[in-house]
Amino acid sequence: MIAHVLYSTRYMMLNFAPQWQHVRHNRHRFSGILLLLMAVFLFFTRITPVDAAKKTTHKDTEAKTPTYKYVSVPNVEEVNINFDRATIQKGYSIQGPSQEVTLGVPGGSLTEYDTVHINIRALKKKFLPLDNEQSLSRVYAYSITEPHGEKVDVSQPLWLSLLAKKESKKGYTIKLWNAKIGEWETIPTTFNESANRFNTTLSKRHAIVGVFAKPYVEFSGKASWYDWYGAAMNDLPIGTRILVINPNNGKQATTTVVSTGPYVANRIIDLPRDIFSQLGELSSGVMDVVVRKID
């Protein structure tokens, strides 16, 4: 048996040695043919390592990370929590980073879901399109999704509360980032002075919000009149030009702040006799006004 194997091996070496020498001398030609065959195979199968990697990455990202239609920026701090069906039906609130933001979800607003995931995060302002916006708080993003990132429908308004960080809160409001128009949008806001918080309601499953200066500086309250050539006001510096509006009849007039005052509770401005008479009856003594700073 061994002799037979040795004989066969010798026979192959003697007969195929010339052919092997031929192949060795023409190895470049065979390499080119091999590469051509590989290229034809890849063309018909339409599969490349790059395509496969792209498909896998996209699929993994889509499954694990919710998609935000607004500004996507690096986060500073964030809170993540899941709520079960019993909690969803009852209603709940969640506090975000440093308890500066609170999001309330009324019972019944997400009843068709067994579990929801809430994410609240504080955003770095240097990555946001703030332009000339003057902020009074950090900017926050919140999102409500199903656990794997699927969208949810909000059937009732959510309530949102943001903590003010400075002493002066007049002339500020909550604004919402509107990605469609690329601007910060003013939304109806109330201020709770005892809690030092700005409050609003939203019917959105995700949003980016913050407390910013209003498009114009505006004050609302009572006005009285006196015999003087300009207005007296404590909230704006002397020399400020102002527009005064009577919200009850729409009449308006302009004047200049020339003094401080008034020092009577619930009054924000003393108007010259002639300006007061343009807006309402002198005999009323006091009227509701909106005072707006003129740039």
Note the pTM of the prediction, 2 decimals: 0.51
Residue % of the chain over a pLDDT of 70: 72
Q: Which domains does the chain have, with CATH numbers?
A: 2-46 (no CATH), 75-213 (2.60.220.30), 218-293 (2.40.40.10)
For residues 198 and 172, give the distance between their C-alpha atoms in angstroms, rounded to a whole number: 9
Buried b (16+ CB within 10 A) or exposed e, 14-41: eeeeeeeeeeeeeeeeeeeeeeeeeeee
Q: How far is C-alpha 280 from the chain's CA centre?
A: 43
Backbone angles phi, psi at 102, to 5 degrees: -130, 130
The Cα-based distances of 94 to 6, 70, 90, 101, 160 in angstroms read 84, 21, 14, 8, 10
Q: At 284, is the pLDDT very low, low, confident or very high (cuts 50, 70, 90)?
A: very high
Q: At 70, is the pLDDT very low, low, confident or very high (cuts 50, 70, 90)?
A: very low
Tokens of 98: 């440093």
CB 82 within 8 A of CB 116: yes
pLDDT tens readout for residues 28-65: 555 556 556 665 554 444 433 333 333 333 333 333 33
**pLDDT value of residue 178:** 92
User: Nearest 5°: CA angle at 226, between 220 and 232?
Assistant: 50
Tokens of 228: 């003087």
Backbone angles phi, psi at 145, to 5 degrees: -140, 175
Q: How far is C-alpha 237 from the chain's CA centre?
A: 34
